Amino acid sequence: MTAVDAGPETTTELRFPAGFRWGTATAAYQIEGAAKEDGRTPSIWDTFSRTPGKVRNGDTGDIAADHYHRMREDVALMKQLGVTDYRFSIAWPRVQPTGRGPAVQKGLDFYRRLTDELLAADIRPVATLYHWDLPQELEDAGGWPQRETAQRFGDYAGIMAEALGDRVATWTTLNEPWCAAFLGYGSGVHAPGRTSASASLRAAHHFNLAHGWAAQLLLHAALPQASEISLTLNLHAVRPLTNSEADVDAARRIDAVGNRIFLEPVFHGRLPEDLVRDTAAVTDWSFVQDGDLEVISTPIDSLGINYYSPTVVGAGSSAAPSPWAGAEEHVRFLPAPGPRTAMDWPVDPDGLYELLTRLRDDLPGVPLVITENGAAYDDYADPSGDVHDPERVDYLRAHLTAVHRAIADGADVRGYFLWSLLDNFEWAYGYSKRFGIVHVDFATQRRTVKDSARWYADVIARGGLGG
């Protein structure tokens, strides 16, 4: 393990508000490994990654970054970096293997040890209840398109509140339900790999309902008064190619099925009327029952935002199967200009500023947190063992500058969680993409701090960007 040196002190040019939360983020299936240990059963990602052709190189999360066995080493790294908060996810099949019934104590004990280790290091635990690893048994029973899955999620939230309620500072119900619903059940590029527009819309509603039931349960649990309840969305910064009526309408359609399908039920207790019209040929929305929207709009303490790049659209059509239910025949996607990451995603910090100022206007009084932001580059250890990643440093600096500008313009942004602490299993890309500020040699599991981690430690120590 390489120690972190924050470097010499210089004058701060962009200082963030006092109490701003500086964090890193990970997800259970991407880093934990130990896929068959201590009672854990398969999730949909275990099954999907074993399906030929679904994940690059046939990679799986069986070992990943071996965080299950190296947790203390990883928390020590975070302490050296000086992070104030750590956002992790809990593997549902590790603590409730079938998605029903009592918890497995060995699974709960791992998260008890993790949160205790974080608290001992003076790091706030920020727990995400769902980061895409549905117990396979629940998928076999119908998965997220079925209402019962949302009910089971509420029970699971209760288990976790009882086990960790005295330790966790912030509870995030769901991470990126858009990806889980529309990539998992619409285009099929994520687990469980289904390709049904109607199933994706049902799944989206049941994710909203699961969030609401979990939020209600957490609100009524015996949690410390300072505990917070949140939801993380990967909101799309949608731009029309031109100001033509057709291109503007294409952007409206994507905003409806990409953003407002979650924002309006959660914060306003309603379905977007244009979304219902756009998807009338796919579903009649009869799966929305009386009282659902009241549950979904249970008040929460903050909104998490995951941002990587903008979305540029124009009038046209998309290839099938498409994740954009109701928009496939009306929208085409175009590349945004500018430099690109190893994921071939455009680097565009203005998109983050646009999202934050939009939410400032649309959701006044709702605190915002950047729960994921980062970039994959082709990092490698040089002959001396160092990992230099200047492109990532430039990316992070530009996006933090955008966050600072949004705060200066009135956005109530309370924190920033860099994705990701560790190189990890990057879903359908397997181990071919590296997002971490800590390099992981997957053959030996050796951790090496990258230049970007040292740079981030300096930002945290200053409370802002230095000159």
Catalytic residues, by residue number, are 176, 372
CA separation for the pair 443, 431 (Å, rounded): 11
Q: Is the distance from CB of 460 to CB of 369 less than 8 angstroms? A: no
Q: Is the distance from CB of 333 to CB of 313 less than 8 angstroms? A: yes
- Structure tokens, 458: 């300096």
Closest CA to 461 of 20, 1, 124, 3: 20
Q: Count CB atoms within 10 A of the CB of residue 384.
A: 5
**Residue 368 dihedral angles phi and psi, to the nearest 5°:** -115, 145
Q: Count CB atoms within 10 A of the CB of residue 464.
A: 16
Closest CA to 87 of 305, 366, 407, 365: 305
Q: Count CB atoms within 10 A of the CB of residue 339.
A: 10
CA 182 to chain centre: 15
HSE on the CB side for 290, CA within 13 Å? 0
- Helix or strand run (H / E) with residue 60: none
CA separation for the pair 382, 121 (Å, rounded): 31
Amino acid at site 238 = V
